[in-house]
């Protein structure tokens, strides 16, 4: 592997919300989760837990919850004049909400928290510790998204269901100590992978002090993702 492979993967790791219902082999899902578990975690505690949902009935329950949350989100978008008709992202996200149960796999990244919190609840660093642990799922999630892309599988990081934690716990039989942090529908994509659209580095970066430009170096040619 060359570093070009990794950069190409990162630069084309778009949210892929139109998925074929074709099953994804367990071996690939195992590999994707394994990639997730190569991520760093605060204190090296590896408190991540993953639930692979393939059961149609459970997927449907999750999709119903998702749809409930998405309808609320849609109203918020509409208040900002963004609708499925005039905004590509809202349209794609609405499609996902309507078709979530058809994704062959819904992967639910979780963290095992209660005991960890309790252990440090009284210390001076209790709050910081909780923050570090909670943030520790996202490096794994990003590894998972990149692994999906590398394997030609479509995936999207979604958060809608995290507002329905009690219902998710019920659907997935989660103990109290396990909290969901995301939901990643995974499947073979209907469309093609393409480059992500992002703001330029110089728009979002400063040198030493906020407000001092960190300009694009002279002669920097950048990278073009594969066509």
Ligand X SMILES: Cc1cc2nc3c(=O)[nH]c(=O)nc-3n(C[C@H](O)[C@H](O)[C@H](O)COP(=O)(O)O)c2cc1C
Residue 89 is a binding residue for ligand X (CB under 6 A): yes
Residue 72 is a binding residue for ligand X (CB under 6 A): no
Residue 10 is a binding residue for ligand X (CB under 6 A): no
Q: Pick the closest to residue 159 from 181, 137, 139, 174 (CA basis).
A: 181
Shortest spacing between CB 159 and ligand X, in angstroms: 4
Residue 100 is a binding residue for ligand X (CB under 6 A): no
For the four alpha carbons of 152, 156, 161 and 163, in that order, the dihedral sign comes to positive
Strands (E), the chain: 48-53, 105-112, 154-155, 178-180, 184-187
Q: Which is nearer to ligand X, 120 or 188 (CB)?
A: 188
One of 6, 196, 201, 207 touching ligand X (CB under 6 A):
196
Specify the DSSP element, H or E, that contains 16.
none
Near ligand X in 108-167, by CB under 6 A? 156-160
Q: Which is nearer to ligand X, 15 or 46 (CB)?
A: 15
Q: Which is nearer to ligand X, 163 or 212 (CB)?
A: 163
Shortest spacing between CB 94 and ligand X, in angstroms: 9
Residue 94 is a binding residue for ligand X (CB under 6 A): no
Q: Tell me whether residue 26 is exposed, middle or buried, using C-beta atoms within 10 angstroms of its C-beta: 0 to 12, 13 to 18, 19 or more.
A: exposed
- Angstrom CA distances, 107 to 76, 93, 154, 182, stand at 26, 17, 12, 8
Residues at the contact surface with ligand X, assessed by CB under 6 A: 14-15, 89, 93, 96, 156-160, 196
């Amino acid at each position: 592997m060359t570093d070009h492979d990794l950069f190409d993967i990162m630069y084309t790791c778009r949210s892929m919300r139109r998925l074929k219902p074709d099953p994804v082999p367990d071996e690939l899902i195992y590999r994707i989760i394994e990639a997730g578990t190569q991520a760093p975690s605060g204190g090296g505690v590896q408190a991540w837990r993953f639930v692979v949902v393939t059961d149609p009935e459970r997927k449907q329950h999750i999709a119903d919850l998702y749809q409930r949350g998405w309808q609320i989100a849609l109203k918020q978008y509409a208040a900002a004049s963004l609708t499925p008709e005039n905004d590509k992202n809202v349209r794609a996200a609405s499609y996902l909400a309507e078709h979530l149960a058809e994704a062959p796999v819904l992967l639910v990244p979780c963290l095992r928290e209660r005991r960890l919190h309790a252990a440090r609840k009284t210390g001076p660093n209790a709050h910081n510790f909780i923050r570090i642990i909670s943030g520790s799922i996202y490096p794994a999630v990003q590894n998972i998204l990149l692994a999906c892309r590398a394997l030609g599988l479509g995936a999207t990081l979604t958060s809608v269901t995290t507002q329905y934690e009690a219902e998710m716990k019920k659907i997935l039989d989660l103990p109290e100590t396990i909290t969901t942090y995301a939901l990643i529908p995974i499947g073979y994509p209907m469309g093609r992978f393409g480059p992500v659209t992002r703001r330029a580095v110089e728009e979002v970066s400063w040198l030493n002090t906020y407000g001092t430009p960190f300009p694009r170096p002279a002669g920097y040619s950048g990278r073009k993702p594969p066509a």
